[in-house]
Structure 1
Amino acid sequence: MDKLEWQDLASQLGLEYDEDTKIIFGQKDGYNLFIEDAGEKIYRICFSVKGDEALSIAEDLKELKKSTKGMTNAQLTRYKLVITVKGGMTKGRTKETIAECLEAIITFLKEHGFINVCEHTGEAEPTAVYQVGTNLLILSADSFQQLSSNLAIENQSYDQQNENVIGGIVGAFVGCLIGGAVTLGIAQFGYVSFVSGLVMGVCTIKGYELLGKKLSKLGIGISIFFMLVMILFVHQLDWAILITREVGTDVFSAFSYFTNYLLSGGEVHYTYWLNLGLLYLFTGIGAYSMVHNALGNHTLKYVTRKL
């Protein structure tokens, strides 16, 4: 759903819409909650609650899920209750489904004696929805201050680290090899997928950050360079394997011959360039998603606020 649809749903539910995090949040019938879009028409309704610890409600939650249309999962972990909702065929039906599931779970919480608590301490005290870095949490004011202070210390420690570019390059290279293996595996089945680009982006960037100690714009640039080179290498290797199957030679000889043939200006079937273009396009989409998220998370990790 788009921004206007979210705002309309928030208004219908008597809640608020936050433009930065793109979630619906607020208090309903004494329970603080937020609703977020998990993608692929999946939505999550999150609470922080506590009931009678002597009773197990796992089976009751299963029954609730079965009896509520559109509810695909209901899981209580410590104090965090997450309700997963599958959207409908239309935006209107999706809003109706979310509203129905919200009403059902609030009724369930009341009937089972659950109370609103701080997600961090489990104490029954005034709470609200807070953003602490990249996390959305239902906290008391004291818990928010504590977690904010901890995050500030972590960020300060991270910022004061010296970036190990050499280590980062090694990490990016290893991660890129893993992503390249996944891309080649998919290519062997005759497919090109943005999933391979997403995997390559995750492995390469996380590899740089893991061994480089921190992720900077330089690190992202180095990671992108490795990904661009790896895509070309994987494409060459894919065609070398094809030649091996047709001619009967080994992969290394086929790779060397085919690469030299191209460098000398030899002509190839148009599908070579078409497939290479598609490989760059689709893996680029997946990798861009990862790079965009990495940059966004890098900014968000400094954010602490009450919604």
Structure 2
Amino acid sequence: MSKSQQNYLDQVAQRLHLTADAQSGILFGMQGGLHMMLMRSTSNQNFVSLVFSLTHSGQEPDAAEIKAFVKSNKLIVNYSIRRSRVEFILKPRFGSFKQIDQLEQVTGEVVSLLRTGGYQSCCQNCGQTAETDACIMAGVPSLLCDSCYQQLGHNQEQIQQESAGKPENVLAGVVGALLGCLLGVGCIVLLGQLGYVAALSGIVLAVCSLKGYELLGGRLSTKGIVIACVLMLAMTYVGYRLDWAITVAKYFEASLTDSYRAIPYLIDEEILDGGVYTGELIKLYAFTLIGAIPTIISSVKNRKMAKVTYRMQSQRAVNSTPEF
């Protein structure tokens, strides 16, 4: 975390009377009798998310009421409701010192609405109005009662132990990654025939090859990521050449197999423009990397975060094992 971000969090925490978690940078605390978390929005990194876990007379939050409020408030961009968990996406920019006043204003307005509506804080897992703590559960910011924290922590520990003991079948993983890449090849050909070269092809290749390896290989290790990346690069070329072969086959009314094999000959004979062919291939590789690299980074990050469980109050992270 940069010094500027730390200063921003300190100022917001002071103005809103919240506490900053040293590890995650999430602000947590209570306003108007409601437990809340304030953090950088995952759906849009520029915005701020205000998170509650709420119940109203034992029922889940009234979606219509919250929707109407969001529409009437210009400082709220969007919202989401998942059972008792309510997340408001606020308009003030995360990290903007000039908009802290707006952040304080809209937070107060949200809390006032919820208090007036008779909402109470509850555990986002069991829905009970027991005392809740802000915590990180398997990498996810959560508001949980002590009982659910303990239970989910034990469950997560067991899952991780089972995953760690699960053997990796490299051969099956390669088959899975290859099958995933075929979907990416289909995307390249489809978009190519429509006249587009898009990062979507890279995203499809990355996600499908990585997920394919994990699904059939048992787990996604660093070795699996490397194998999937090699297949990604190889299948990007196959997909690109296949796209050109389809165009050649249509033009010369030849078979697809003959057209695929004839691509180098047609370039040597200058029937196809070699410069255009190479330039478009480089462009596709660039888009593939643009799509694949963030996906891989996100996958690695999620794997690491899935092992993180701790209570924010303690500001102590214990990998794989919660505080028991």
Which TM-score applies when normalising by structure 2? 0.83
Indicate conservation of the 8 Å contact 1:48/1:118, yes or no: yes
Q: Secondary structure at the match of 2:154?
A: helix
Find out whether 1:102 has 2:104 as its counterpart.
Answer: no
Asked whether the equivalents of residues 76 and 91 of structure 2 are also in contact (C-alpha less than 8 Å), the reply is: yes
CA RMSD of aligned residues (A): 3.0
Contact 2:8 2:97 in 1 (8 A): no
Residue 32 of structure 1 corresponds to 35
- What residue is the counterpart of 1:152 in the other structure? 157
**How far 1:40 moved relative to its partner?**
6.0
CA distance in 1, matches of 2:185, 2:68: 44
Please give the alpha-carbon distance, in whole angstroms, between the structure 1 residues aligned to 2:82 and 2:131.
21
Task: Describe the superposition over 1:212-260 as per-residue Cα deviations: whole angstroms up to 9, x where unpaired.
Answer: 1111111111110110011111111222233234433333321111045
Conserved 8 A contact 2:80-2:87: yes
The answer to whether the 8 Å contact 2:41/2:89 transfers is no
Q: What is the aligned partner in structure 1 of residue 203 from structure 2? A: 198
- Corresponding residue for 2:315? none
Would you say the 8 A contact 1:179–1:196 is kept in 2? yes
Of 8-17 and 108-117, more deviation after overlay is shown by 8-17
Question: Structure 2 vs 1, CA of residues 264 and 154 (structure 1 numbering), >3 Å: closer, same or farther?
Answer: farther
What's the TM-score, normalizing by structure 1?
A: 0.87
Does the aligned pair in 1 maintain the 2:166–2:219 contact within 8 Å? yes
Change (3 A) 1:190 1:103: farther
Alpha-carbon distance between aligned partners in 2 of 1:138 and 1:296, rounded to the nearest angstrom: 22
Pick closer, same or farther for the CA change 1:37–1:164 going to 2, 3 Å. Answer: same
Match of 1:139 among 137, 144, 164: 144
Cα pair 1:87 1:93 within 8 Å, conserved: no
| CA–CA separation in structure 2 for the residues paired with 1:105 and 1:164 | 51
Cα distance in structure 2, aligned partners of 1:81 and 1:179: 36
Contact 1:6 1:17 in 2 (8 A): no
Q: Which moved more, 1:119-128 or 1:167-176?
A: 119-128
Matched with 1:77 is 82
Which segments of 5 or more consecutive residues in structure 1 lack a partner in the other structure? Answer: none
3-state SS, counterpart of residue 46 of structure 1: strand
TM-fit CA distance, 1:119: 1.4
Distance 1:286 1:18, change over 3 A: farther
Q: How does 1:173-184 map to 2 (within 5 A)?
A: 173-184=178-189
1:214 aligns with 2:219: yes
Describe the SS at the equivalent of 2:254: coil
| Per-residue deviation, 1:73 | 3.5
Partner of 1:258: 263
Q: Partner residue of 1:229? A: 234
Query: Within 5 A, what are the aligned runs for 1:292-307?
Result: 292-307=297-312
Q: Does structure 2 conserve the Cα–Cα contact (< 8 Å) formed by 1:24 and 1:36?
A: no
CA contact (8 A) 2:60 2:84 kept: no
Percent of matched pairs sharing the same residue: 26
